Amino acid sequence: MIKVGVLGARGRMGAEVCRAVEGAADMELVAAVDQGDDLAALTGAEAVVDFTNPGVVMDNLRWCVEHGLHAVVGTSGFDPARLDTVRGWQAANPGGNVLIAPNFGVGAVLMMHFAQKAAPFFDSVEVVETHHPNKLDAPSGTAYRTAELIAAARAEAGTGPSPDATTTELDGARGTDVGGVRVHAIRMAGAIAHQEVILGGHGEIFTLRHDSMNRESFMPGVLLGVRKVADLPDRLTVGIESLLGL
C-alpha cells in the first residue's frame, strides 16, 4: 500500500485524484489538503500529488522535499528557473523525488512519442485536431507541441519536407505551418478533445488517433506516477514519457 497525500484536494483535478487513489487497490489516501489546511497533515504520506496553482506549488514542493516526501506534480508554470530551484532543494536534502508533468494523459503522451518515432519514415505528415467549439485557441497546445516534436525528429533524421504541389490555395485551406508540419483545427459541437497524426508515403498511410472524452483520462497517468516516483533514476523528472517503458 502506497500512502498518498493530495494537495489541492478540493479542486476539480485534485478531487478526481482523491477518488482515483481511493479506487486503487495498491494505494491509501492518507491526507486531502487544500487552501488553509496545514501541510503537516501530509506527514506519514510517502507520495504527494499536487494539483494546485503556480502561486503555491513551489512552497508545497519545498516542504515535500525538505520532509523527504516524493511529489507528483500536475500544476503548470514550471520554467527552467523553477526546475533549478527544485534541484537546489533536492541537493540539500536526502529523499524527495519529484515528477512534474505538463500532461498526465497516457494516450496523448504515447501519441506524441509514436509520432516522433514514425515521422522520419514517411514522406508526408500532418496533424488534425478536433475540439468543442468553446475552445479559445487554434490549434490546441497539444497539436502545436506534437508538430514541433515531429519537425524536430524529421530534422534530426534528415527527412525532407512533406511534398506539396499546391499552386492555388484558398486562404487557410492547407492549415497552419508549424516547423514545416501542417496543422488543422476543427471546432465541432459534440466533440471533446481529439487529435490525429497522419503520416503517408509510397502507397501507405499510417494514422495515430487519440480521443479524450473527459479529464478522467489523466488519472491512470497520475497513478502511474505515484507508483513509480520513488524509484525514478533521476531525482527530478519532467514528463511521464520515461515511465512508460518505451
By annotation, the residues acting in catalysis are 131, 135
Separation CA 168–CA 164 (nearest Å)? 11
Q: Is 146 annotated as a binding residue?
A: no
104 assigned to a ligand binding site: yes
Q: Is 102 left (phi over 0), alpha (psi -120 to 50) or beta?
A: alpha
Q: Which stretch binds a copy of itself (CB under 8 A): 43-51, 62-70, 81-89, 112-120?
A: 112-120
The position carrying cell 473527459 is 214
Q: Is 8 annotated as a binding residue?
A: yes
Contact status, residue 16 vs residue 216, Cβ threshold 8 Å: yes
CA distance 137 to 133: 10
Give the footprint of a copy of itself on residues 45-74 (CB under 8 A).
Answer: none
Q: Does 110 bind a copy of itself (CB under 8 A)?
A: yes
Position 19 contacts a copy of itself (CB under 8 A): no
The nearer residue to a copy of itself, 118 or 232, going by C-beta atoms, is 118
What residues numbered 166-205 form the site for a copy of itself, per CB under 8 A?
166-178, 182-192, 198-205
Q: How far is the CB of 62 from a copy of itself (least distance, A)?
A: 32
Q: By CB under 8 A, is residue 225 in contact with a copy of itself? A: no
CA distance 64 to 45: 10
In this structure, are residues 5 and 17 in contact, taking their beta carbons and an 8 Å threshold?
no
Cα–Cα distance list, 127 to 2, 87, 160, 178, 216 (Å): 39, 36, 17, 10, 24
The answer to whether 115 and 208 are in contact (CB under 8 A) is yes
Q: Verify binding: residue 85, a copy of itself, rule CB under 8 A.
A: no
β-pairing, 204-212 vs 193-201, is antiparallel
Q: Which of 8, 74, 139, 225 binds a copy of itself (CB under 8 A)?
A: 139
Judge whether 142 is annotated as a binding position: yes
Does 112 help bind a copy of itself (rule: CB under 8 A)?
no
Residue 40 CB, nearest distance to a copy of itself (Å)?
33
**Which one, 73 or 224, has the nearer CB to a copy of itself?**
224
- The answer on whether 88 is annotated among ligand-binding residues is no
Nearest CA to 239 among 120, 105, 47, 99? 99
Question: Does 215 help bind a copy of itself (rule: CB under 8 A)?
Answer: yes
Residues annotated within the binding site for NAD(+) are 8-13, 34, 74-76, 101-104
